[in-house]
Amino acid sequence: MKFTEEHEWLAADGDIVTVGITAHAADALGDLVFVELPEVGSTVSKDDAIVVIESVKAASDILAPLDGEIVEVNEMLVDNPTKVNEDPMGEAWIFKMKPADASDMDQMMEESAYNAFIA
């Protein structure tokens, strides 16, 4: 897994990257009440705001961590946004993408660096 300063996690499986928010981000947001997912097939650029999540505390954007194409979204989150609070780094992944250049992940943080970042 790799991590961003925007509190996203990325897990590569072949040429597909699964993206979600970290447990730290889910805890900071509080109980989620709404998730707006990107469209499958859309092409995104790094740092584009592509997901909106709303909690009882605030609304936040999730940014595209890489350039690429959205290939799948976790529809379960539309009807059950609190799943992100329950399992943010597992079942509650947000979207999967095919990155334009997977090697861009090499510049992201490993888990130990992310843990130091949030400490």
pLDDT at res. 20? 97
Residue 116 belongs to some domain of the structure: no
For the segment 21-44, the average pLDDT, to the nearest whole number, is: 95
CA 26 to chain centre: 11
Residue 107 belongs to some domain of the structure: no
pLDDT at 58 over 90: no
Domain that holds residue 10: 2-102
User: pTM of the full predicted structure?
Assistant: 0.95
- The structural domain count of the chain equals 1
Residue 94 belongs to some domain of the structure: yes
Residue 118 belongs to some domain of the structure: no
Residue 28 belongs to some domain of the structure: yes
Residue 27 belongs to some domain of the structure: yes
pLDDT at res. 116? 97
| pLDDT tens track for 94-111 | 999 999 999 999 999 999
pLDDT at 23 over 90: yes
At 87, the amino acid letter reads D
Residue 111 belongs to some domain of the structure: no
- Average pLDDT in the chain: 96
Q: Domain of 6: which CATH number?
A: 2.40.50.100
CA dihedral 116, 87, 93, 27 (to 10 degrees): -50
Residue 109 belongs to some domain of the structure: no
pLDDT at res. 83? 95
9: confidence class by pLDDT, cuts 50, 70, 90: very high
Whether the CA torsion 49, 52, 55, 56 is positive or negative: it is positive
pLDDT at 57 over 90: no
